[in-house]
Amino acid sequence: MATLGDIGVAATINILSAFAFLSAFAILRIQPINDRVYFPKWYLKGLRSSPLQTGTLVSKFVNLDFRSYLRFLSWMPAALQMPEPELIDHAGLDSAVYLRIYLIGLKIFIPIACLGFAVMVPVNWTNKTLEHSKLKYSNIDLLSISNVPLGSNRFWTHLVMAYVFTFWTCYVLKREYEIVAAMRLHFLASEHRRPDQFTVLVRNVPPDPDESVTQLVEHFFLVNHPDHYLTHQVVNNANKLSELVNKKKKMQNWLDFYQLKYSRNPARKPSTKTGFLGLWGKTVDAIDFYTSKIETLKKEISLEKDKVMSSGKSVIPAAFVSFKTRWGASVCAQTQQTRNPTLWLTDWAPEPRDVYWDNLAIPFVSLTIRRLIIFVAYFFLTFFFMIPIAIVQSLANIEGIEKALPFLRPIIEVIPKTIGTSIPMKATFFITYIMVDGWAGVAGEILRLKPLIVYHLKNFFLVKTEKDREEAMDPGTVGFNTGEPQIQLYFLLGLVYAVVTPFLLPFIIVFFALAFVVYRHQVINVYNQEYESAAAFWPDVHGRIITALIVSQLLLMGLLSTKEAAQSTPLLITLPILTIWFHRFCKGRYEPAFVRYPLQEAMMKDTLERAREPNLNLKSFLQIAYIHPVFKEVEECESDPASEESDQEPVLIPTKRQSRMNTPLPSKHSGSMTSLG
């Protein structure tokens, strides 16, 4: 068990390392040579084309303006300055809403921490339980629930606080759900015309002996949506074609590599071996070898493409069906088409860039079986993982106590009272964890050490054209998939320890504040959103925080019952019930905004559009929107064989800033660019 001194040492180390990361970042980011690593977003949006510094050769690589080093934390206020509507314009709604999760953390935990310190700390501290026991304890444990004697009336304070904290959390969550739902609806309403607004993805088209899939789809929708059906696009299983295209791309890369090598050292023609990884086999001229390989692949691709396009066999029983109006699409997406609810399944089409084409080809039966397998595997993973962890954990605790107090052995060896002391005493471990993972980790995120090194390596060895450089600096999207679970862990910790050991809360608050600033900076300057779900993930975020809240309530219940405060159990049981009810209420009230598209909104947009553009040719707009991207790639490559294929054209999100394209002067609120002025 760590003492207050140990925690102090850990805090010092972590604060120093976080500080070191931030300083390194502050210095590295203002070097023109790193500009594309720390501000790729602006390059990708076309708002910046070269470092802002101009002058001597040296100053093209190194920043010589020493005043800028003094303002080394100036990026923080800069990151906070851009107002939210502009942020949504700049980085999309998903990113803006993602940042709100960190804000929620602050909104929930700052008042809870204040109340916790004002009420719980005195209540816990003014006992002598740990002092009189012979348990090993640290100064922090004196502030925790462990220090309250068994069966004390003081537990009523914890009970009341659990209620207060739950109500506050629910209040914040409800307000936030309301705001995010409104933001989403506003965002959807103000969006420009996009193919997915008119389109529905139809899956499980039943096989028909007389008609092909495309005929069947057309007939079905002409009959059942006669006034609204416009056109459709069947889905081809082009997985083999994609594979060939990818293979060709890899070969092209090798060819480029050897050509570059040759151009740098024209004296020696590069050679390679034909076997596995070029390690054995016949030695051949590398450039000739890869050129001929690419030629063969090109022929294969052309053949495969004709095969996919002409024969009906590669058509899978799914189609993107487009309607004349948003109203028609909205109706089709929300209704059941036929008696058998597993046929003619209709869902909103995702936007074209968001379609995962390979998986569209998986048949329904296979999907069902895959789901079952994952379900069973997930269960057993959790189940068998939980058992050893629980055993090891409890042994570790019991051993620790047994060593200190050998006479307790017979009592301890009966499987349940340790929870009352072990959970609160784990707090010191989690405090250290938060400092390492939360503080130093987030500070490390902003430094982008790995992308920095990779970019410079690529830039030095591989980059030939401006397009290559753009690819080398592509930062990808912000890591929802790793960031969100991390946040959820902190919510869980914060809610569990809010009543038990409020001393942990300030550490969490520092994490949320730091992460908010850092990720806001990253979203503005670094990450580039690939597609826009319009915050469709929010119900999950909400649900997980609710789960954390319920877990914290159940743990408190168990804890108080081991503390012989069982008379409070009925009152504590009410808490999760109220929380579940609150969740159901929110689900009914706000979730539909995230899964359905109200007819009124659709009708409004349709009517406006009809009035503004009476002669719009929607069919031409929709007809090729949902063609498998590999066909486009193949066509591009056929028309321009020398160019490299990029996976996706970076489609620009319309922005108010277009008029200022390439202007070297930063805008008033353009994030950290102000510090370079």
Contacts with its own copies by CB under 8 A lie at 185, 223-225, 227, 330-331, 334-339, 341-342, 368, 372, 375-376, 379-380, 383, 570, 573-574, 577-578, 581, 585, 588-593, 596-601, 603
CB of 479 to its own copies, least distance (A): 31
Nearer residue to its own copies within complex by CB, 344 or 527: 344
Q: Is 109:134 a contact under the CB 8 Å cutoff?
A: no
Q: Is 525:93 a contact under the CB 8 Å cutoff?
A: no
Residue 349 region, left (φ>0) first, then alpha (ψ -120 to 50), else beta?
beta
Nearer residue to its own copies within complex by CB, 328 or 438: 328
One-letter amino acid of 215: Q
CB of 586 to its own copies, least distance (A): 11
Helix (H) or strand (E) holding 390: helix 364-404
Contacts of 63 (CB under 8 A, 6+ apart): 30, 31, 32, 53, 69
Residue 325 region, left (φ>0) first, then alpha (ψ -120 to 50), else beta?
beta
Taking 3-state DSSP, the helix, strand and coil percentages for the chain, each rounded to the nearest 5, stand at: 70, 5, 25
CB of 538 to its own copies, least distance (A): 14
Nearer residue to its own copies within complex by CB, 38 or 590: 590
Residue with tokens 């009914």: 588
Residue with tokens 């784990």: 426
Nearer residue to its own copies within complex by CB, 426 or 583: 583
- Positive or negative, the CA dihedral 511, 517, 520, 525 is negative
Nearer residue to its own copies within complex by CB, 511 or 597: 597
Nearer residue to its own copies within complex by CB, 12 or 382: 382
Q: Is 516:106 a contact under the CB 8 Å cutoff?
A: yes
User: Do the strands 271-273 and 345-348 form a parallel or antiparallel pair, or are they unpaired?
Assistant: unpaired
Q: Is 469:36 a contact under the CB 8 Å cutoff?
A: yes
CB of 571 to its own copies, least distance (A): 11
Nearer residue to its own copies within complex by CB, 396 or 599: 599
CB of 220 to its own copies, least distance (A): 8
Nearer residue to its own copies within complex by CB, 136 or 587: 587
Nearer residue to its own copies within complex by CB, 485 or 592: 592
CB of 158 to its own copies, least distance (A): 22
CB of 165 to its own copies, least distance (A): 20
**Vertex 353: Cα angle to 349 and 356 (nearest 5):** 70
CB of 325 to its own copies, least distance (A): 11
Nearer residue to its own copies within complex by CB, 341 or 677: 341
First vs last C-alpha separation in the chain: 50
CB of 379 to its own copies, least distance (A): 6
CB of 597 to its own copies, least distance (A): 8
Phi first, then psi: what are they for 285, rounded to 5°?
-70, 125
Q: What is the C-alpha separation between 534 and 351, in angstroms, rounded?
A: 11
With H, G, I as helix, E, B as strand and everything else as coil, classify residue 272: strand
Contacts of 148 (CB under 8 A, 6+ apart): 123, 124, 127, 129, 154, 155, 158, 563
Q: What is the DSSP string of 409-466?
A: HHHHTSSSTTHHHHHHHTHHHHHHHIIIIIIIHHHHHHH-HHHHHHHHHHHHHT--SH
CB of 414 to its own copies, least distance (A): 10
Nearer residue to its own copies within complex by CB, 311 or 600: 600
Residue 536's CB: how many other CB atoms inside 10 A?
Answer: 16
Nearer residue to its own copies within complex by CB, 126 or 335: 335
Q: Is 675:68 a contact under the CB 8 Å cutoff?
A: yes
The closest of 22, 9, 130 to 76, measured between CA atoms, is: 22
Phi first, then psi: what are they for 201, rounded to 5°?
-90, 120
CB of 412 to its own copies, least distance (A): 17
Nearer residue to its own copies within complex by CB, 470 or 601: 601
CB of 596 to its own copies, least distance (A): 4
Q: At 351, list the tokens.
A: 């936007």
Q: Is 30:68 a contact under the CB 8 Å cutoff?
A: yes
